Amino acid sequence: MRGYLRNRGYGVHGWQLGRNLGPDPELIRRLVERFRELRGRYDRKVSLIGWSLGGVFARELARNFPSDVRQVITLASPFRDLSATSVPPLLRRFGGRHRPANDSVRERLGEPIPVPATAIYSKTDGIAAWQSCMETPGPLSENIEVESSHLGIGHHPVVLLTIADRLAQPEGEWQPFQAPTGWRWPWVPRPAIAAP
């Protein structure tokens, strides 16, 4: 994804904080530090793209620093319910620092953020429950369904084209995504020639 966007002229940066095992105070401090460094380097609002748990972090950065965030794009990010996953509890326990969110945290994570937000999700995700990956509909939010696995969504050609479309909008003129002619829901290209 980074290479695709870099080839289109965007200043693209990974989070450079190692494996994402979930929040802890040190990780959050370093994430905010990285965000501020990139915001200062470019002296303009930052678009945040987060995949899975990375999208939860992106939304929370936007919630806490709305004047510094241009938009948020999430890919298969279960921000409505972090526990809505098909990963067995035993694997979750060994996989990272995920702690069950209390009711007030869970409620806050699902609330709309104060910047344009695009949630890309898949009903064939296989890991995150798609219902937990959707924005509340509103004038600055949208949900886009694709057919993809959880691990494949960041490499999906339609997702890459959608992200490029979202990033190409002039700042302050956000509009919902319009599928190109010849595409059908859930954004899968129609065959050029119909089979007999």
Tell me the C-alpha distance between 103 and 126, whole Å.
25
Fold (topology level) of 2-189: Rossmann fold (3.40.50)
Phi, psi of 71 (to 5 degrees): -165, 165
User: Domain spans of the chain?
Assistant: 2-189
Q: Which amino acid type is present at position 27?
A: L
Helix (H, G, I), strand (E, B) or coil at 49: strand
Q: Residue 187: is it exposed, middle or buried by C-beta count within 10 angstroms (0-12/13-18/19+)?
A: buried
Please report, rounded to a whole number, the percentage of residues in the chain having pLDDT higher than 90. 66
- Per-residue pLDDT of 132-182, as tens digits, reads 999 998 999 999 999 999 999 999 998 999 999 999 999 999 999 988 777
pLDDT band for position 91 (cuts 50, 70, 90) = very low
Sign, CA torsion 135/141/145/151: negative
Helix (H, G, I), strand (E, B) or coil at 71: strand
Contact by Cβ (8 Å): 79, 105: no
Helix (H, G, I), strand (E, B) or coil at 180: coil
DSSP 123-137: TT-SSB-GGGG-PPP
How is residue 181 written in tokens?
């002619």
Tell me the C-alpha distance between 157 and 37, whole Å.
30
- Per-residue pLDDT of 60-86, as tens digits, reads 999 999 999 999 999 999 999 888 877
